[in-house]
Structure 1
Amino acid sequence: MKPLKFIGSSLDDLREMPTAVRHAVGIELMAIQYGAEPSDFKPMKEVGAGAYEIRYRDTSGAFRVIYVAKFVDAVYVLHAFQKKTQKTAKADIDLAAKRYKLIGDKP
């Protein structure tokens, strides 16, 4: 199982989400740690190679977690946020891309 590593404020942002959302996203992240795919995700090429977005929706809104699992040492959680519009905001993509660069090149 790969450990989770949270970049920037992603852990705090995740903790601010409603309990049911945190629980559902936590299960998805655990599946990723064990090498499985989340139930609803899409590639985020705009963020970087190997970046994906977990998509979760419930009665309180649409939530997203952008992560990278291609590295051997860990699953990196780059950004966690609630979507306010149909399209992912450029600011959210840019923040995740900036945090992706903080990881650096891993073997």
Structure 2
Amino acid sequence: MREIARELNELLRPQSLYRIESCGWVFHLLQAVGEGNLRIRIRFGTFRSMTPRSFLGVRFFRTESGTEPVRDGLRALSAAERRILGEDIKTVQLGWPLGMPLVRSLGDGLWEIRCGMEQRIARIVFCLEGSTMVLLHAFFKKQQKTPKADLDLSLKRLRLLRKSK
């Protein structure tokens, strides 16, 4: 595995934005992101095989009135925050299944993407519908525990989604 990591590092070296470190089957992709400020974002992924994998599709939960609350919430954010959230969604989409620190199970078929930003912490709650991630709810955390109101809203949207099938 260390040889694969060394080869990947050689390929990525010209960009000097990425570094792969081997740790058993777990690779750490360290990506430097920033506009003036340099931030390090750590991604964890498990390589089970070297064969191509299928990727998850992504769609937004749509209410009965036709609105998409998560999409509307993302549009209200700054471009930098949207980029960070988009990268995290894409990482889950391309690397599923993932675990901590990026993705955590909330139970009942709900998962949360844990997005750390410079000033605040965002969470995107999603469920899986076949091979598609359905983004149910997005919010900013102010405390360690997921607020009950946000969890209840996510569960309500999950029930509506399953009922509409």
**TM class, shorter-length:** 0.7 to 0.9
Letter of the 1:24 partner, please give it. Answer: I
Normalised to the residue count of structure 1, the TM-score between the two structures is 0.78
Match of 1:40 in 2: 102
Match of 1:12 in 2: 72
SS state of the match for residue 24, structure 1?
helix
Normalised to the residue count of structure 2, the TM-score between the two structures is 0.54
Evaluate the alpha carbon distance shift between residue 56 and residue 73 of structure 1 in structure 2; reply closer, same or farther with a 3 A threshold.
closer
Structure possessing the higher relative contact order (Cα contacts under 8 Å, 6 or more residues apart):
1
Evaluate the alpha carbon distance shift between residue 101 and residue 3 of structure 1 in structure 2; reply closer, same or farther with a 3 A threshold.
same
Match of 2:35 in 1: none
Say which of 137, 142, 162 aligns to 1:79: 137
Evaluate the alpha carbon distance shift between residue 16 and residue 94 of structure 1 in structure 2; reply closer, same or farther with a 3 A threshold.
same
Moved over 6 A (4+): none
Match of 1:93 in 2: 151
* Equivalent residues of 2:88, 2:115 under 8 A apart: no
Unaligned runs of 5+ in 1: none
Say which of 87, 96, 121 aligns to 1:62: 121
- What is the alpha-carbon distance in structure 2 between the residues aligned to residue 26 and residue 100 of structure 1? 22
Aligned residues: 103
- Tell me the CA shift for residue 31 of structure 1: 2.9
SS state of the match for residue 144, structure 2?
coil
* Equivalent residues of 1:21, 1:56 under 8 A apart: no
Larger Rg: 2
Aligned residues: CA RMSD: 2.5
Unaligned runs of 5+ in 2: 1-54, 64-68
- Tell me the CA shift for residue 74 of structure 1: 2.1
Evaluate the alpha carbon distance shift between residue 33 and residue 41 of structure 1 in structure 2; reply closer, same or farther with a 3 A threshold.
closer
- What is the alpha-carbon distance in structure 2 between the residues aligned to residue 95 and residue 60 of structure 1? 24
- What is the alpha-carbon distance in structure 1 between the residues aligned to residue 164 and residue 138 of structure 2? 22
